[in-house]
Amino acid sequence: MANRWIEKPLGELGKALRAGKISSIDLHEEARTRHRTYGPALSAYRVWDETRARAQAEAADAAFRKGEDNGPLQGIPVSVKDLFGVDYLDTYAGTPKPLPDAWRSEGPVIRSVRAQNAVLTGKTHMVEFAFGGLGTNAHWPVPRNPWDMNVARVSGGSSSGAGVSLIEGSALVALGSDTAGSVRVPASVTGTVGLKVTAGRWPTDGIVPLSPTFDTPGILARSVADTAIAFEVVDAYCAGRKMRAIATPAALDGIRIGLAEQHFWDGCPDDIAGAVRDALGELEKAGATLVPVELPEVEEAYALFRQGSVVSSELRAFVESELPDWQDTLDPNVSFRMSSALDLDDEEIIRRRARLTEIASTANAGIKGVDIVITPTVPLTAPALADVVDGKAYSAANLQTLKNTCIGNILEFCAITLPVALDAKGIPVGLQCMGAANTEERLLSAALAIERKLGTARDRLGAPPLATDNSRS
């Protein structure tokens, strides 16, 4: 693999495409080569759509030649989680058969990247109906975590193929969804960046629902800088406005970082907690201010999450009403979680939603004195697939995996994770930054400052063993 344009930052690629130093077809060919080389071992995609991706790359090049510049994702390979409608591809949502054609309908998130002449590489694997944080699926090959050469480990869920597609090098941006951590968990354990926006900021039209109360679209990319570009593309389209300037790094010595000691660090292994605390030490030494914060709402939020009542009830209602023929083939882990939740009537669901709104409001008010709150993203090493075959083991690992990320959804924060180290098993450790609702621009500026100081994934982690060209210098 002599040509490595596919490894360049989006900003640099954009300049090269517009200067004619590289074509969209060149990028597509590099992505295709990477997929053919690493894809068989990693299983990121349910469908790799090579023919149409090439046609889209040709269309992007034709637009460039005519002087048409539709935005920073023009000609850029983008993978799509298989619950987003794409009008020419079936949507499976992790189930064993295609959903009705209505679920091909494209929503604003897909339309935003299509409007820019992005190149959609295909549909990535996911947990069935997005209901799980580990990334396993009884119906399809499970994407393999690229960071362990010897042990097949989970790649995080529910957007299980999304982070893997980035590490594979077949996509530079991955679209996912996040209900309790489904963007941030796979980003964390694959050494990529994952952004969850505030619920309601981006429409969920054209996305198969898990829980309308908590569902949010999200972005995975290889760096915070790339994520900031993709964020502005989607955000501008969804808001019906012109693109603004891409977020820039804040001054690190002006950032106030909140530290909530309760919950987020409890039970976190020493190697993971230590890696995040070491990163915090680097930031403090560079001028960031660490501020203790109290988040008493976390205890109630997590108790409600463990009951699974709202999410499970909403998924069950959706499947029973919209997809009754899919009930008999549910993945056992999905079926168990869906059926074991409290059986709540409509009145109780409304009451719980109201209570969730109350605690989210007070939590957002409680972090106004800081720019971001930092925690470990996933307080668990990505488990070996063999260790989560048993239902009880799966449930325990799934609960621990989502322990820190679910709080961001329940308390209506926006959140991003970026890689800072490898744990004792050689699996990436993520640092989670959470901000108050609808402060994504400030969150991204802070995360950019952190990335500028700590370095990107390649700087901090090196190269993943299962997606590394041996000819690299």
| Locus of tokens 């609808």 | 438
Looking at residue 212, its pLDDT comes to: 95
Three-class DSSP labels, the chain:
CCCCHHHCCHHHHHHHHHHCCCCHHHHHHHHHHHHHHHHHHHCCEEEECHHHHHHHHHHHHHHHHCCCCCCCCCCCEEEEECCECECCECCCCCCCCCCCHHHHCCCHHHHHHHCCCCEEEEEECCCHHHCCCCCCCCCCCCCCCCCCCCCCECCCCCCHHHHHHHHHCCCCEEEEEECCCCCHHHHHHHCCEEEECCCCCCCCCCECCCCCCCCEEEEEECCHHHHHHHHHHHHHHHHCCCCCCCCCCCCHHHCEEEECCCCCCCCCCHHHHHHHHHHHHHHHHCCCEEEECCCCHHHHHHHHHHHCHHHHHHHHHHHHHHCHHHHHHCCHHHHHHHHHCCCCCHHHHHHHHHHHHHHHHHHHHHCCCCCEEEEECCCCCCCEHHHHCCHHHHHHHHHHHCCCHHHHHHCCCEEEEEEEEECCCCCEEEEEEEECCCCHHHHHHHHHHHHHHHCCHHHHHCCCHHHCCCCCC
Indicate whether 15 belongs to any domain: yes
**pLDDT value of position 3:** 62
Range of the domain at 429: 5-467
| % the chain with pLDDT above 70 | 98
CB 199 within 8 A of CB 214: yes
473 domain-assigned:
no
- The pLDDT value recorded for residue 338 is 87
Number of other CB atoms surrounding residue 279 within 10 Å:
22
Separation of alpha carbons 104 and 222, rounded Å? 27
Tens of pLDDT, residues 134-190 = 999 999 999 999 999 999 999 999 999 999 999 999 999 999 999 999 999 999 999
Distance CA 327, CA 191 (A): 34
* Residue 219, φ and ψ in degrees, nearest 5: -130, 140
The residue ranges of the chain whose pLDDT is under 70 are 1-3, 341-342, 470-473
Indicate whether 179 belongs to any domain. Answer: yes
Please check whether residue 110 lies inside any domain of the structure: yes
Q: For 192, how many CA atoms within 13 A lie in the half-sphere containing its CB?
A: 35
Q: Distances from the Cα of 325 to the Cαs of 105, 320, 337, in angstroms?
A: 20, 8, 19
Sheet arrangement for strand 428-435: 45-48, 119-124, 77-81, 173-178, 216-221, 193-196, 414-422, 428-435, 372-376, 256-259, 289-292
Whole-number pLDDT of residue 94: 98
**pTM of model > 0.85:** yes
Residue 199 lies in a domain: yes
Phi-psi region of 356 (alpha: psi -120 to 50; beta: other; left: phi over 0): alpha
At residue 270, the pLDDT reads: 98
Assess if residue 296 is contained within a domain.
yes
Spatial separation of the C-alpha atoms in residues 75 and 103, rounded to whole Å: 26
In this predicted structure, what is the pLDDT of residue 309?
Answer: 75
472: in domain = no
Confidence (pLDDT) at 253: 95
Q: What is the pLDDT of residue 352?
A: 86
φ, ψ of residue 429 to 5 degrees: the values are -110, 130
- How many structural domains does the chain have? 1
Q: Say what the pLDDT of residue 472 is.
A: 39
Question: What CATH number did the domain enclosing 61 receive?
Answer: 3.90.1300.10
Q: What is the pLDDT of residues 396-449, one digit of tens each?
A: 999 999 999 999 999 999 999 999 999 999 999 999 999 999 999 999 999 999
Which residues have a catalytic role annotated? 81, 158, 182
Residue with structure tokens 């994952």?
194
